[in-house]
Each structure stands twice: as structure tokens, then as C-alpha cells.
Structure 1
Amino acid sequence: MNTETVSPMVRCDRRGRVGIVTIDRPKRRNALNLQVKRELVEHLEALASDNAIAAVVLTGSEGYFVAGTDIGEMSSMRPSDHVRLETDRVFHVVRQLSKPVIAAVEGYALGGGCELALACDIIIAAEDAKFGQPEIRVGIMPGAGGTQRLLRAAGRYKTLLWSLTGDMIPAGDAYMSNVVSELVPTGQALARGVELAEQIACMPPLAVHAIRDAVRLGGDVPIGTALALERRYFERLFDSEDQKEGMRAFLEKRAPRYEGR
């Protein structure tokens, strides 16, 4: 029996109410293999269940986000392997996490790395970072949201241009195409991501949850349905103590004290 100890490839730190998840596989530019995906799921689910954590920042070590999915591991897989091993689970976990997730991108976010960033709520990118969906160059296509999330962010024509050529997308182009939330100087993506996470962590939790749900669910339904959904969330917040506290604090010209109820 193989008793070899496999070193962790993902680390998790807590900074106040912010959880920082770092992919740490620098020799492979943080490429996603099954171990990395499994460890990401474990850390993210632990943060989701931690009441002390209000927001999460996802990043990579040594100046890279994620250079792609590990082709060496994936090359011999069959369709049933993807199903059995749930190779797309981490993307669903990120997208459905109960707390906001901010991607802090330096270097490359390619293939599965781009899809991992797209699964997040906010993407902060260094000015010289590169995004892309190069799967076509190895005989496949994006399979974890690369076509569909790009389509909803950048539109049909950019999505097809990038997906059919496999070309890298400079962070500036991604920003202009609504794929990136904010550009920062090289080396500052994590600091800015944490700063934003700390700002969001101070907001009323019920309102944060409602806004995220309205945006995520509303983007995939007709505008009339989305507006009705938004209105229902808006109305429901008037049953919360946070709504009363927030408005009372505003009128009394003091800082609010939110409790998430």
C-alpha cells in the first residue's frame, strides 16, 4: 500500500472576517489537478460553515492565479472519469458558496483557471495578468463555464473570438469586456481583494446574501422575472433587524451594528 504523504497544495488563512484561500503549486503555475480541486472544496466548505467569516478571497501563489487544468493528469481521462471524480465540483462550490468570493488574479488565469475566476463574484486583476480559454488548442473546449459565463459577461462575439482561437486575453481587454471588475498594479491584486472583502464583511449579511442571489438568479431569466425577484428580496429585508438598525443608525448619524438577523 502506498503510504507516501502528499503535501498540501492549498492553504487557508483567516484575516479578521475574511478567509484567504491560496493555491500553492508554484512549480506547475498552480495548475488544477484533482488534489488541488479537492483541497479547494474542503477549505471553501469549511469557510462557508464558519460564522466568523463573512467573505472569501481566492488567489494563487508566486505571482500566478491558475495557469490551467493539469493536462498531464487529464489527458488519459474518459467521460466516465469526469463524472465519477466530479472534476467540475469545485466550480459549483465556488459559484454557490454562501459567502461572497473575490478572485485576486496575478499572472495567468487560463483554461480552468479562467473558469475558476469566472465562478467568483468579483475579479480583481493585475494590469499585466492574462486570461484565456485555450482548450481548443489541445482538442477540447471549455467545460466548466468558460463559454457560458464569458457569453453572459462579454457577449457572443468576444466569447467566440477567444474560445475559437485560444488566444490569451490581456487583463485590460478583459476589463473593457466586463470580465474583470477592477484593474490594479502588478502585485496588488491580493491586497485589493482583501480590502474589498473587508469592506463587504462590514455590510449587513442578509442584504449581501439577497443582492448576490438577485444578481446570480436574475441574470439567467427574463427581465420581468428578474425584476419581480429583486422586488421580493427587497421587501423581505424589511422584516430584518438589520434593516431597522441600518436606517436607525443613518438617521442617528452613527455607525450601524449589524447582526445578520
Structure 2
Amino acid sequence: MSLVIYEAEGKVAVITLNRPEARNAMSPELASALGEAFDQFEADDGLWVAILAGNGRIFCAGADLKAISEGRAAGLITKEEGFGRFARRQRAKPVIAAVDRPALAGGFELVLGCDLVVASTEAVFGLPEVKRSLVASEGGVTRLPRRIPTNIAMELALTGDTIDVHRAHALGLVNVVCEPGQALAEAKALAERIVVNAPLAVRAARRAILDGLETTEAEGFGVAARLGAEIAKTEDFKEGPRAFVEKRPPVWQGR
């Protein structure tokens, strides 16, 4: 059985954690398979958006504590790519998390590593690391306070308690709330709203937002201008206005 299911549907890659018998807990083997899947996605010019999903009753329960207790932690976290070879991965293309069930500990950190989140009413999110004398160091204590108010991030990190999808949505962590079993379908619908746009411009806009968060507003304008100038050199930059004038849908080439 493949630990990660990789499917390409049009311009969208669906990457599914497939270790349901272990609640999709991240083992070294699963981390390796997940990293290879995202390597494949990033290298494929025909794929513009990825969806990260989880098979079974849990999106991802975090690190495989059994593997850690057996001394098999090597590979769970890498210096360059982080937890599951994803949490700190440097990538160009957008990724949507499709969360149908609980995302806990490292599983929540995988979600925080995505650009957009679709979640069902059966999803919950939490950082229970402190209950095991651990620190949520793969995005939990770093990214969460940049996404939601600091005191709420403190609440989650210090109590280890979970929040439901409705509170997560109200806090801005979740883009779309859906019925149980519909997270993947709704994530695909969101992906289709993205892939109708020029892929290089989408990547540049994503990069401008992320880089701009690390700068002053004035520096952020500079980042956006630099990326915009790069897009102006592409064939798609000419195609957009041409398609508008000719009253037809644009045909993006990604170059």
C-alpha cells in the first residue's frame, strides 16, 4: 500500500496521506513519501496547484510517537524541509489543505504550512505537544501567532486544547467550511478558481504576500514591484490583455 496517494487531475495534484491505520501519524517512511510527492508536483510544469488531504478518520495526528520511542525519528524532520518534508519546504506553487477530520500537533503544522484551508465540520485543530513535554516547533508556535491573535495562539500552545472548525474559520485559519466528507471536493473547487488564472502571476502574488509579511510596508511595495516586473517579461503577460481585447478566455502557457 502506498503511504502517499498521488493523483493529477487537470492542473491540480491531489496528495493524500494514506496511513489511516496509524491515524496518518508521520513516520520516517511517510515523510519520505510525502517529500517525494511534493518534489514531483513542483517539478511538473503542467500542475499549478496541489491539495494536501488525509485518508481515514484523522487528517494527521502528528509525529509517530512509537517510531520516536523506538529511536526511528531520523527523517521525520529535515533541516531544509521540516516536519514531514513539508512544513518548512520552500516552494513556488500554492497548496490547499483539505481537512475532513482532526489535524493535531504536527498535522496542524502541516495545515499551517499550506496557503489555503478547506475544512469540514468534523475537523478540529490543536497543538497538544505540551501534554507530552514537547514544543510545537515546526510551525505551531511560529506561524500560528502570525495567523491569529497572539493571545489565542498562546491559548492553543499553552493548554494543548483543540478548537473546532467554526472558531478556526472565525479566526481566519480556515477559508471554506463544508459538510463532512466534502473537504476534498470543496478544495478542488477552490483550486479550479485558482488555475483559471495565469500560473506565474499566481506564484508571484503568493510570493509577494509571504515576503511582504517579513518586511515593512514600503519594502513590501518594492517586493511586489520587482515580482511584477518579472511577470511583465513573460508570454502570459501579453496573452492576458490580448484575450481581453479579443473577448475570449486566455490560454496560459506558464511562460
Q: Same fold (TM over 0.5)?
A: yes
What is the TM-score normalised by the length of structure 2? Answer: 0.92
Residue in structure 2 matched with residue 52 of structure 1 by the alignment:
46
Please report the RMSD computed on the Cα atoms of aligned residues, expressed in angstroms.
Answer: 2.1
* 1:205-226 per-position Cα deviation (integer Å, ceiling 9, x unaligned): 2101101110111112222211
* 1:75-103 per-position Cα deviation (integer Å, ceiling 9, x unaligned): 4659xx66896272535577422221111
Q: Do the aligned partners of 2:87 and 2:109 also contact (CA within 8 Å) in 1?
A: no
Residue in structure 1 matched with residue 190 of structure 2 by the alignment:
196
Of residues 88-97 and 68-77 in structure 1, the stretch that sits farther from structure 2 once superposed is 88-97
Residue in structure 2 matched with residue 216 of structure 1 by the alignment:
210
Q: How far apart in 2 are the matches of 1:182 and 1:214?
A: 23
Residue in structure 2 matched with residue 109 of structure 1 by the alignment:
103
How many residues of Structure 1 are paired with residues of Structure 2 in the alignment?
253
Q: How far apart in 1 are the matches of 2:101 and 2:244?
A: 42
Q: Do the aligned partners of 1:94 and 1:101 also contact (CA within 8 Å) in 2?
A: no
Residue in structure 1 matched with residue 129 of structure 2 by the alignment:
135
Q: Residues 106, 83 of structure 1: CA spacing in aligned structure 2 closer, same or farther, 3 A cutoff?
A: closer
Say whether residues 1:206 and 2:213 are aligned partners.
no
Alignment counterpart, residue 161 of structure 2, candidates 164, 167, 171? 167
Residue in structure 1 matched with residue 78 of structure 2 by the alignment:
86
> In structure 2, what residue type is equivalent to 1:217?
D
The Cα shift of 1:63 comes to 4.0
Structure that is richer in helix per residue: 1
Residue in structure 1 matched with residue 241 of structure 2 by the alignment:
247
* Amino-acid identity (%): 35
Q: Secondary structure at the match of 1:259?
A: coil
Structure 1's unaligned 5+ residue stretches are: 1-6
Alignment counterpart, residue 155 of structure 1, candidates 149, 159, 162? 149
Say whether residues 1:176 and 2:167 are aligned partners.
no
The Cα shift of 1:121 comes to 0.9
Q: Do the aligned partners of 1:47 and 1:53 also contact (CA within 8 Å) in 2?
A: yes
Q: Secondary structure at the match of 2:155?
A: helix
Residue in structure 1 matched with residue 37 of structure 2 by the alignment:
43
Equivalent residue runs for 1:12-27 within 5 Å: 12-27=6-21
The Cα shift of 1:105 comes to 0.3
Q: Residues 222, 82 of structure 1: CA spacing in aligned structure 2 closer, same or farther, 3 A cutoff?
A: farther
Q: How far apart in 1 are the matches of 2:111 and 2:59?
A: 9
> In structure 2, what residue type is equivalent to 1:162?
L
The Cα shift of 1:178 comes to 1.4
What is the TM-score normalised by the length of structure 1? Answer: 0.90
Q: Do the aligned partners of 2:77 and 2:85 also contact (CA within 8 Å) in 1?
A: no
Q: Do the aligned partners of 1:91 and 1:116 also contact (CA within 8 Å) in 2?
A: no
Residue in structure 2 matched with residue 234 of structure 1 by the alignment:
228
Residue in structure 2 matched with residue 260 of structure 1 by the alignment:
254
